[in-house]
Chains A and B, each alone.
Chain A
Amino acid sequence: MNESSSAPERRVRQGMDYGETADVHQVHAAIQREKREPRVGLEPLSLWLIAIYGLAVFFGGAYLGRYSGSFGADGLDPLGGAPRPQKHGPNGPGGAETQQLSQADRGKKIFSANCATCHQANGLGVAGQYPPLSGSEYVNGGTRRLGMIVLKGLQGPLTVKGVQFGTAVMQPWDKTLTDAKIADVLTYIRQDWGNTGGPVTPEGIAALRKELASHPDSFTEPDLKAVPADAELPGGAPAAAPPGGPPNPAASPAPSPKA
């Protein structure tokens, strides 16, 4: 249809570089044919749309109420309150499910959420950066050193299994994890990957936390060396549990490719 009208086409072509527009009408064929600027109709709201609004508000509000962790500034657990649940036992509300798990199983969950990024799921760490937990003398030794490391963090070079690690810093976990969770995760790492340590009690961690409350910085290797290798946590005197015993048969065949 455009081929038929050659006369206007010629007129358009001759003068028209789009910088110069002598004849507005001819240049803007597109404008001529276009529709009016859009207007707005006034259809009313339909009822079922209002129902959707109601559902969204209800669902959003319910979600906020359910998973807000009591709006505590330090409540990391969306189901529980702020971390003061020791008075009621190691688990906050909603703990029925977790109570059925053994300490090491609970620790495994905490480990994969918090620790496995650096120390890896197989506990072998990353060469040169993050020391291994599997077979580590710190993990298999006394519980006091372990508690110190996890509560307050660790910086500076560290020698594990004869290899020196230096670049990475371990963050303090005393603000993030509760006593019960630290005890769980320590129990787990002392029993998986062929490690032979005994369980760790929340009471021991709590006592150590109190003891270290005024210690401001992360520990360094000399700090740890100052503590005897077999020192246990204060208060709690855990009887040496049978290594790799009943708590955690499921996790023992963890793949460790290099082992």
Chain B
Amino acid sequence: MNPAEIPLKAPSTAAEAGSEVSIHDVEQVERALIDASTRLPVLFFYTSAIVWLLIGTLLAGFTSFKLHAPDLLADYSFLTWGRIRPAHMNVMVFGWASMAGIGTSIWLMARLCRTTLRHPLLLIGGAAFWNLGVMLGVGGILAGGSTGYEWLEFPPYATIVLFVAYTLVMSWAILMFRFRRGDHIYITQWYLLGAFLWFPWVYGATQIMLFVVPVQGVMQEAVTWWCANNLLFLWFGAIGLGTAYYMIPKVIGRPVYSYHLAAIGFWTYALFASWTGMQRLVDGPFPAWMITASIAATILTIIPVATVGLNHHMTMRGYFGLLRYSPTLRFTVFGAISYTVFSLLGVFLSLRSVAGYIHFTEASIAYSHLGLYAFFTMIMFGSMYYIVPRLVGREWRYASLIKLHFWSSAYGVGLMVLMLFVAGLSQGSAMNDPTIAFNESTESILPYLRGRSVSGMLLTVAHFVFAFHFGLMLLGLGRTADVPTFLNPQEEEAVKTHL
């Protein structure tokens, strides 16, 4: 298919009706062609992401169980806690979240640039290299080659492969944007383009400062946490927000509330989020102003968070009833609400007086899961529920499986965040009390760690159910129907017209 020219011929409805071709018909054909062009790369990214999600889930299970059953499989060096925890984290960050995010970004970008995907092979190559990079990296970690920097444990040879993969994806993104049609650049495109430029900056600068020209001493920690926090904010955060800005108005069929709010939200986010990261190191041996600057920037992220939250809320207003029916909307709105909670909690936890209690405890794990799972992963699930039917030409087979997925995920992550947060508070106050030995402070949180393992089982159920459902779709076993798979049977005509 030559992407430069989209044949604008009449679809069969127009012919049947005997009327002339409407703008609406033309748009439909255009969208169909765009979707067709993105099919292979997006499905490749999605399939890889889901495989990594399952692997990461199993690793997470081991990691969690080892905290209260340390003897579990302890005889194998590659299954020790010090290796499977970074393996879990990196599989989730680079295997699952990044690949799902790139998959969704490709589709959104193609749709919004109103151009069919050029050079899909480039992206297939990118996905293959990305998989190779994650495989090498995880293998390296399990073999004992971890670099020891949190979130950046991949050995350098894996990072190089990831960079090759990223360059392939990136050149596609630039090409795609270069050949966009129409004057209008939608909000989602701002965020996606931003994410695609921020990722190499954050990741590249960190790699250079840690491995090529290493900074000295404790400053390595500063660099590491700047990177980890900004992968969360500028990479996952931007893709997640961009996706929400598309899915919510798209599904309910209503314009986004305000352009001004969107613009303020985007630019202030770009400005302030990139200063954050060091607030995780409160009381560490760093010049006070470095940490305080990050805390102040975190406080200022209230501006984009309030703005974006308000924008989404006002867009949704009057349409919350649709959460009962649309899987996409339910996952996306859950993610968007979690984003607000995650960010405001982040502000609270960064303040010196609070951080003095909860830092270096399980509470920061709770915070990371709130961001990466309750916000980002849920939005990715939502986008997959929207996009996959358009790629495979089938509807999701079982509404019951979608419901099971949603509720296991929601309860799972809710329970996990709650358990870890309470554990962190108790652990933190014990660690700050010099009369309590360190051992006692960790033993006191054992019940919460068991609770966390239970929440992990819920998430495991959710992920395997989703993977099974996705597999059915891939095999062409979805439903062939004109209506989407609703979570609940429709009750009113009014509802139907809105989905």
Contacts and interface: CB of A to CB of B under 8 A. Distances in A.
A63 B255 contact: no
Contacts of A24: 11, 29, 32-33, 36
A56 B288 CA distance: 21
B111 interface: yes
Interface stretch (A65-73, A144-152, A157-165, A206-214): A65-73
A18 B482 contact: no
Nearest to A1: B483
A231 B398 CA distance: 81
A56 B12 CA distance: 56
Contact of A45 (B36, B260, B288, B437): B260
A60 B299 contact: yes
B259 A40 contact: yes
A69 B33 CA distance: 59
Contact of A49 (B111, B262, B306): B306
Nearest to A21: B36
B216 interface: no
Interface in A98-148: 108-109, 111-113, 116, 120-122
Contacts of A63: 292, 295-296, 299, 351
Interface stretch (A2-10, A196-204, A220-228): A2-10
Contacts of A32: 13, 28, 482
Interface in A1-60: 1-2, 5, 8-9, 12-13, 16-18, 21, 23-45, 49, 52-53, 56-57, 59-60
Interface residues of A, number: 71
A31 B352 contact: no
A37 B111 contact: yes
A32 B295 CA distance: 48
Given A120-B437, A255-B435, A2 B482 contact: yes
Contacts of B257: 41, 43
Nearest to A25: B11
B480 A28 contact: no
Nearest to A17: B476
A30 B390 contact: yes
Interface in B20-68: 27-29, 31-33, 35-36, 39
Contact of B250 (A30, A38, A73): A38
B258 A39 contact: no
Given A43-B261, A56-B302, A60-B300, A38 B435 contact: no
Contacts of B476: 16-18
A38 B186 contact: yes
A41 B259 contact: yes
Nearest to B293: A64
Contacts of A94: none
B250 A69 contact: no
B303 interface: yes
Interface string B445-482: 00000000000000000000000000000001001111
A97 B111 CA distance: 62
A72 B288 CA distance: 8
B436 interface: yes
A180 to B, nearest CB: 17
Nearest to A66: B292
Given A38-B255, A52-B303, A68-B289, A28 B35 contact: yes
Contact of A31 (B32, B245, B260, B289): B32
B287 A72 contact: yes
A37 B186 contact: yes
B67 to A, nearest CB: 20
Contacts of B302: 52, 56
Contact of B299 (A2, A36, A59): A59
A112 B390 CA distance: 59
B223 to A, nearest CB: 17
A42 B260 contact: yes
A63 B289 CA distance: 10
Nearest to A9: B480
A165 to B, nearest CB: 19
B287 A76 contact: yes
A197 B170 CA distance: 65
Contacts of B260: 42-45
A41 B255 contact: yes
Contacts of A44: 258, 260
A176 interface: yes
Nearest to A250: B435
Nearest to A111: B434
The 5 closest A-B pairs by CB, nearest first: A69-B288, A35-B253, A2-B481, A38-B249, A43-B258
